Structure 1
Amino acid sequence: TRDYAAAARAIGLSRAKLLRLEILPNLVPLLVTLLAVEMGIAILVEVILSFVGISVAGDTPTWGSMIAEGRQIVYQAPWIMALPIGCIIASVIGLNLLGDGLRLALDPVQRS
C-alpha cells in the first residue's frame, strides 16, 4: 500500500520483482534491528531462568547461576556478582547498538 509499491505495480513489475526490488530492501533493516533486540531479550530471559534455577543443568556455568551463587557472599566478595552483571549489561547494550548501527547502514532511506 506504500507509494513506491503502487508505483512499481503501475510500471508493470511482477509480484516477485516487486518483492525483491522494493519490499525486501525496506524490510531488512527492520528485521536486523528486531533480531538484535530479541537477542538481548533472550539473554535476559536465560539469565532470569538460570538465576531461579530452572534453566540448563546445574553444573553448567551461566550468568544467572553465577549471580545466584554470588548472592550468598556479596558482602565478602561483591565482584562475584558485579562481573556477570556487567557482562550482561555490556552484551545487551552491545547487541542493541549493533542492531541500530546495522539498521542505519542497511536502511535505504538513511543512505540517501
Structure 2
Amino acid sequence: MFGKYWFSFWLQPLLWILISQLLRFKFIRKNILLRLLFSILFIFSIEKLVIIFTSFHRDCLPSSWTMNNDLSIYPSNLLLELLMKITVFLLFVGIFFLINQKINNYKIAKIK
C-alpha cells in the first residue's frame, strides 16, 4: 500500500472518485459518449484488465510447460461477470427510482 508500487494500489479508487466527480460538470453529464466510457471504466477494474491483458500473453512459456493458474479468464466468465454487474446496477437503479418516486408523490400529496 505504501511500498514501491503504491500507485498501482491507489490508482483504481482514485480513478473511480475522479470519474464520479467529473459527472458534476454539465458538459460531461449531457454527453452520452463520455458517460458510456465512464461506465465501462466503472465496470472493469484495473486489476481485471491486467489479468485479461496478461492472459493474452501467456504464450511466452515453452509448449512443454503448463500454467495451472486459478485466474484463468474464459469468455463465458467475462460475459457472466458483466451480466451480473449490469443486473446489480439495474436493481439499485430500480430501487432508487421507486424510492425517489414515492418521495415525489409524498411531496405532491403534501402540497395539495
TM interval, short-chain normalised: 0.3 to 0.5
Q: Greater relative contact order (Cα 8 A, min sep 6): structure 1 or 2? A: 1
Name the TM-score, length of structure 1 as normaliser.
Answer: 0.35
